[in-house]
Amino acid sequence: MLGKMMHRPLLISHLIQHAARYHGDTPIISRETDGTTTHSDWATLHSNSKRLANALTKLGIEQGDRLATIAWNNRRHLEIWYGVSGSGMVCHTINPRLFPQQIIYVINDAQDQVLFFEKTFLPLVMGVKDHLTTVKHFVCMTPPDEEVRAQLPNVIFYDDIVDEQSDEFEWPELDENAPSSLCYTSGTTGNPKGVLYTNRTTVLHSFGISLPDSISLSATDVVLPVVPMFHANAWGLPYAAAMVGAAVVLPGPNLDGHSLANIIDEHKVTLAVGVPTIWQTLLAAAKETGTKLTSLRRNVIGGSACPSSMMRTFRDEFDCETMHAWGMTETSPLGSANQLKAKHSGLSDEEKLTVRLSQGRPPFGVELRIVDAAQDNKLLPNDGQTPGNVQIKGYWIVDTYFNCEESALESDGWFDTGDIATINEDGYLMIRDRAKDLIKSGGEWISSVELEDIAMSHPSVAMAAAIAADHPKWDERPVVIVQLVPGAELSEKTLIDHYEGKIIKWQIPNAVVFVESIPLNGTGKMLKKDLREQYGNHLIERGLID
Ligand code: AMP
């Protein structure tokens, strides 16, 4: 015998056991859907998740079964995550903002046995329940509630089934490749596709996001995952928080700027995580009330490109360091995060900001490459100039979508993300566009992300979406759809002049359309496809076709 190291499978139950044992009194604060706030901790969360595991076993749910949630970020939802995945079942988090048809589709596709839901989603559940083919138990995430029972007589109440169980439960020693959770992609075309994460990919991803050059999580942090638990598992934050023993503040349903500013100040949040639209409302609210969000040392922005003006505002007005991160549901989601290297230490603040505006470098565990997809995935240079399709491989990347026979990978094992980017010599990724959002003008392409960033650097612009509009001579030309800051005024000409000197002349948009509000999808991203359908003919209709 040459000797041997211990083999321990990488399991989600180990995360919660660790948090309960070594950080048992670290707070878990939760804004509930009824407006109250509950104060719990990792030890209580662990015992409640074991009680739930007992209750699920009693209901006859087995390892491998899928259980759905339609819920906000709150304590019961987190207990369900650990109770379900820890006992070898699969937690399927559903985006409540999907169309009812899509909700029916994903529940039936996943063959969910149980549906946990917030009381606020009762009308939604009532609307879809007769079309669900596999759900045996509807669990309302409240204490017993006669109003709910009156409408859904067989409903089970979460607090009932958890309270009546003991917290004596042995987490099973699963195979680390056992599936643990399931998220469907937002699916702008066709049906949503399920990504089935495993215990192993989740634990490795938790190490990956906690690293100092990722989001540098520790037991001194108070973490606020604003990103919903149904959006790529809240980017893995609630798992990583258990790994490092961070305190967690779960914001519940109210994600408006004032509620968030209030929760950050009240609970001394040190790190908050979410998409740019969330930060926009937070910044507006903070400016209104005058709070400086003093506890907030860092925030993570991902899901869409972080406007440079936003990063500057956090830095200059709130002394908060913004980390830009990139990823997708298929990548668990972390694909890259932006932290500086030692070689950047001598740079000026402005030069550092330029580096930090990119989506950053891959952490250990994933690799990125850019290729020319039109030329048989020909490898492109990492020169910071040449754009190509971003492809990824690694420890926590999808291989095959749920219920699909065919692999989602290219023939040589890489996953094509559908994003277009450059990568520079230091490995920093700069997303230029979604392949399908690119604007192709006379055979050359224009980055919609760059046009949006410039528009949003104008103080009157709250949100901007650059889209391709049809043009008889150039095929496509850029049009910017703009939502103004409330009360602000801005003319089309002033905004177009604002582009002068910031971008090559031929890339300047041909027109600006002002709208009340830019439509957003369920995860807070701009619905550019809808805008293209609505304004794709704008230049032809206005005769702007020179
Ligand atoms: P989802 O799976 O819904 O999270 O969407 C993933 C997509 O969001 C990616 O493929 C990107 O197009 C986009 N995305 C995510 N993070 C960023 C970022 N930091 N900058 C630009 N786009 C991003």
Other Cβ atoms closer than 10 A to 236: 28
pLDDT tens by residue, the chain, 546 residues: 899 999 999 999 999 999 999 999 999 999 999 999 999 999 999 999 999 999 999 999 999 999 999 999 999 999 999 999 999 999 999 999 888 999 999 999 999 999 999 999 999 999 999 999 999 999 999 999 999 999 999 999 999 999 999 999 999 999 999 999 999 997 656 788 999 999 999 999 999 999 999 999 999 999 999 999 999 999 999 999 999 999 999 999 999 999 999 999 999 999 999 999 899 999 999 999 999 999 999 999 999 999 999 999 999 999 999 999 999 999 999 999 999 999 999 999 999 999 999 999 999 999 999 999 989 999 999 999 999 999 999 999 999 999 999 999 999 999 999 999 999 999 999 999 888 888 989 888 899 999 999 999 999 999 999 999 999 999 999 999 999 999 999 999 999 999 999 998 999 999 999 999 999 988 888 999 899 999 999 999 999 887
Q: Which domain holds residue 484?
A: 439-542
49, part of any domain: yes
Question: Looking at residue 128, which CATH number applies to its domain?
Answer: 3.40.50.12780
Which of 165, 198, 231 delimits the end of a domain? 198
Which of 139, 164, 198 delimits the end of a domain? 198
Distance CA 233, CA 239 (A): 9
Q: Which atom of ligand 1 is nearest to the CA of 523?
A: 3
508, part of any domain: yes
The domain total for the chain is: 2
158, part of any domain: yes
Most ligand 1 atoms within 8 A of CB, residue of 328, 415, 416 to mutate: 328
227, part of any domain: no
491, part of any domain: yes
68, part of any domain: yes
Q: Distance, CA 325 to ligand 1 centroid (Å)?
A: 9
Question: Looking at residue 453, which CATH number applies to its domain?
Answer: 3.30.300.30
Q: Which residues contact 436 (CB under 8 A, 6 or more apart)?
A: 418
The whole-model pTM stands at: 0.93
Catalytic residue selected from 118, 330, 450, 452:
330
Alpha carbons within 13 A on the beta-carbon side of 507: 19
375, part of any domain: no
Active site residue 533: no
Q: Distance, CA 305 to ligand 1 centroid (Å)?
A: 8
Alpha carbons within 13 A on the beta-carbon side of 72: 20
- What CA–CA distances, in Å, run from 212 to 246, 301, 356, 426? 14, 16, 15, 17
Pocket lined around ligand 1, Cβ cut-off 6 Å: 185-186, 232, 302-305, 324-329, 333, 359, 417-419, 431, 434, 523
Which of 159, 178, 198 delimits the end of a domain? 198
81, part of any domain: yes
Active site residue 440: yes
Catalytic residue selected from 37, 38, 120, 185:
185
Most ligand 1 atoms within 8 A of CB, residue of 419, 423, 452, 527 to mutate: 419
**pLDDT value of residue 189:** 61
The per-residue pLDDT of the chain, averaged, comes to: 96
pLDDT 10s digits, 193-232:
999 999 999 999 999 999 999 999 999 999 999 999 999 9
Q: Distance, CA 326 to ligand 1 centroid (Å)?
A: 6
Distance CA 306, CA 450 (A): 11
